[in-house]
Amino acid sequence: MKAVRIHQFGGPEVLRYEDVPDPQPRKDQVLVRVQACSLNHLDLWVRKGLPGVKLPHILGSDVAGEIAEIGEYVTGLTVGQRVLVAPMHFCQHCPKCLAGLQNQCREFTVLGNAVDGGNCELIALPAANIIPFPDVLDFNQAASVPLVFVTAWHMLVGIARVRPGQTVLILGGSSGVGIAAIQIAKLFRCRVITTAGSEAKLEKARGLGADHGINHYKQKIPDEVRKITNKEGVDIVVEHVGAATWEESIKSLRTAGTLVTCGATTGSSVGVDLRHLFARQLRLLGSYMGTMAELNEVLGHIFAGRLKPVVDHVFPMSEVRAAHEYLENSQMFGKVMIEVGQ
Ligand SMILES: [Zn+2]
């Protein structure tokens, strides 16, 4: 089969579109014929080099396709069914997995990170990862959803415990996680403030329901938040930008507000003034992906049309280098897709 692999870490030039052996599914696995795969910033980090990645390595976390083959021990699925893939690897038998806390499993990793991913024509996965999806979505839409929507749902609902009517500041409203978080916060009838680097992107964010937009190149985030919230600050900040926005995010919180972070795109070393942490009673919380229950919950809203996938651009798998460059240049509003197809 064809796949996108890296044999060394580096820039887009290390991505190779090449022939690799077909995977041989185990009896407890399902073989999926991949139709579409979305890019995430994780693909860029893995390509540049992360600990635990064994070379050569197949990239890609978010997969949608059709069932090609079903292992003897698997029940409840049929060949030809349109499915998306839970973008996570977990052991399925430790106490955390059995408690439904898959993202706390010691073996937990994101598909395409420490295990081979879905930038390929065929992928073999445990039946637990396979989720059929309805005809309302095409393959690109389906593959654009899982990682960013489960991440945003876990951040807002699982970790920050969002309540109806709260005010939420969502950094990077044009990113995959930002687009998901805006819609989820609106589902909870929150007031949403978001940031982006251009008026065109802010307009699209408003189209998804954002109440206020801040252009982070022209305006100071905490100053605008103070104006919008009558000097009070926000209940929740959704962070994934990292060093470039950390201080502004903390300044934007109200007393006893919650900052939840799932990423550090602009750098991971930040400072915390402990006096502010305790005197303002802030909660600074980390979040990583989500659980299978949360994925299924957020997919229910997607399938019902209450949350919408946003696809920006589709590249054929053979043009994966151009797709990585496009994502790195941050020109998109929504997800960048790799179309695999046959
Ligand atoms: Zn486990």
Taking 70 as the threshold, does the pLDDT of residue 342 lie above it?
no
Dist CA 22 CA 123 (whole Å)? 8
Q: How confident is the model at residue 186 (pLDDT cuts 50, 70, 90)?
A: very high
The CA distance from 266 to 245, in Å, is: 9
Q: Cβ distance 167 to 229 under 8 Å?
A: yes
**117-145: average pLDDT:** 98
Query: How many angstroms separate the alpha carbon of residue 23 from the centre of ligand 1?
Result: 23
Summary mean pLDDT of the chain: 97
Residue 9 has pLDDT above 70, yes or no: yes
Q: Is the pLDDT of residue 172 over 90?
A: yes
CA 102–ligand 1 middle distance (angstroms): 6
What phi, psi does 96 have (nearest 5°)?
A: -65, -45
Cα(91) to ligand 1 centroid in Å equals 4
**Rounded distance from Cα 109 to ligand 1 centre (Å):** 10
Dihedrals phi, psi of 75, to nearest 5 degrees: -125, 160
CA 337/CA 40 separation, integer angstroms:
9
Q: What angle do CA 74, 61, 146 make, to 5 degrees?
A: 75
187-207 pLDDT, tens digit per residue, is: 999 999 999 999 999 999 999
pLDDT in tens, 73-99: 999 999 999 999 999 999 999 999 999
Span 299-319, average pLDDT: 97
| Contact partners, residue 42, CB within 8 Å, separation at least 6 | 61, 110, 112, 113, 147
- Give the Å distance between the CA of 292 and the centre of ligand 1: 12
Task: Check the CA dihedral 327-329-330-332 and report its sign.
Answer: negative
Q: Output the CA 104–ligand 1 centroid distance in Å.
A: 7
Query: What is the rounded distance in angstroms from the CA atom of residue 231 to the CA atom of residue 224?
Result: 9
- pLDDT range class, residue 341, cuts 50, 70, 90: confident
Alpha carbon of 103 to ligand 1 centroid (Å): 8
pLDDT reported for residue 330: 81
Distance CA 305, CA 91 (A): 32
How far away, in angstroms, is 90 Cα from ligand 1 center?
A: 5
Q: How far is the CA of 96 from the centre of ligand 1 (A)?
A: 6
pLDDT computed for residue 331 by the predictor: 83
Ligand 1: centre distance to CA 101 (Å): 8
How many angstroms does the Cα of residue 87 sit away from the middle of ligand 1? Answer: 15
Between the CA of 105 and the centroid of ligand 1 the distance, in Å, is 4
Task: Show the tokens assigned to 84.
Answer: 């998306």
Coil, helix or strand at residue 232: coil
Q: Could you read off the pLDDT of 202-256 as tens digits, one per residue?
A: 999 999 999 999 999 999 999 999 999 999 999 999 999 999 999 999 999 999 9
Q: Rounded to whole angstroms, how far apart are CA atoms 115 and 109?
A: 7
Is residue 22 over pLDDT 90? yes
For residue 325, pLDDT over 60 is answered with yes
